[in-house]
Structure 1
Amino acid sequence: MTNNNPPKRVFPAAKVDAQAARHVPSSPQTESAAYKLAFQDNDFLLREDLRPVRFQLELLKTELLLDEANIASTFVFYGSARVPEPAKADELIEAARGDKAKAIAESLKAKSRYYDIARELAQMVSQYPLDDEGKRHFVVCSGGGPSFMEAANRGAIDMGKETIGLNIVLPHEQLPNPYVTPDLSFQFHYFALRKMHFLLRARAVAVFPGGFGTFDEMFELLTLIQTGKMRPMPILLFGREFWNKVVDFQALADEGVVSQHDLDLITWCESAEEAWSAVRAHYREGKHERG
């Protein structure tokens, strides 16, 4: 007689022992931290010596959950957390006190038009169909915060699609924006692991006006492609007037510290349609092979 039942586990699952460990009788030995199962001992896991393990956990948790959600590739959005959506831009100006503060508020208002562009682009890319294996592509992914990140997640939700937020613990609390899909809302301790997850599945990156964080993420991506550590992908830079004011890209080439060809890694955009057309053209031309 054939037994079609799967074989029983030889050893109890960690989950089973973790549950059993909660019900051991109290004694001086069992009350000691040394007696805790290693994977249930938070103080142990937070030791400096365990940093490599925490690295692995932050890599694995997000990786496994995105795999389980059938997300094969992402469309990443970078940008400032400080630029208001257009409907709130005037409130920022009214609240400003002093000429300098008002000038800054006016500048932020001028950039607020890109909020709607980010939202529109996210709406477009979220409609990309499933592949033959049921995998999802160009899933909208942001840092999970406000402003352009919120606009990106919001655009995906507009279309009834799930969307990813990769948040990070900061000294001042930063909650995920309300448009991030709860089951795809991740929190990181290590910037390095968060940045890895931004790019592991990325097939295109949209970069909106931003500050140090946006610079960090954008220039790291440009460096990875420039040095051959990543295959080229569309890097869509929005707000040419802003970027050319704060970074003289051509001067870098003129000074010889990058090649003129390196500047071709950037695709300048001012509309969602322009950006999505550039992405589709890139992959039509067979530039999508991944290493």
Structure 2
Amino acid sequence: MPAVDVPVLAVDGPPGAGKTSVLAKLIPFLGSAAAWFTEPNARLARGLDAPTHPSPAGHSLWFLRHEQAKARAMQRLAADPATRLILCDRNHLGALAYCYATHAEDSLPYRTARDFYARHVAPALPERVLTVILLVSPAESLRRRGGAAELPRWKQWFDPDLLERLHHFYTHIAPGLCPSPPRVIDTDHASIRDVLGEIAEHLRAADITLPGDPTDVPIAGSPEQDSAFARAYQQLGGLEALGHTASAPFDYRHGTVQLYQLGALHRTPDARTILWNPLANDPTLRAAS
């Protein structure tokens, strides 16, 4: 596989650490200079791309295979001359963290997940992969998210024991599973602007030039959903599938995009609204040459 010259930045960490909030500011700031992947979402996968078994083990394997497909897709995205950086909301660490922390009887054993990563994902990764791990204490994670799950299927992510084990994984194990030494940021007492500043410093240390200072981006409250995306949002499952809005709509490569907690929607130049999926070889996701 040919090497990818475009650097990759992956942001990972436990629930409530601020990953989506930070990326919802960073992605519009970078604009067409970046290609990006939302958090993997098995609920939005269809057909042959959907998990083959609805168990925790089946979903963990789906996430790891998604990382393998993503690594391959990066080759195509990097070939676009407009792309200067590839961004990822989570990477392989997310699936490994879950396998390490869960107590579900039908979960994928951590060692099996780690071996799958080593054999199938790591060899497909580009040469320049930078990782930022956002840490948050279990107590602060619960406080930020209201202390209780908004939907029943999110309940496990509010289990204090699971959060403790996730915190241990990201603190003591995850750094050794990154292709290069990660930037670890404790967000308990850090603002979004603080985290953006540390990420910018991490990129500059790797000789990656940014089109300005991301700490200058406006830090507003909760964005509203644009009416252009409302119908597609509901058809795809609404809150259950995509979560709350994470960004205001922004122009991106001749279309308009709105970010959500668990995905994104793209309004194409011909007024179609589709799920954002850079794994697909869709010419609407590429800049005009």
TM-score, normalised by the number of residues in structure 1: 0.34
Q: TM-score, normalised by structure 2?
A: 0.34
Structure showing greater relative contact order (alpha-carbon pairs closer than 8 Å, 6 or more residues apart): 2
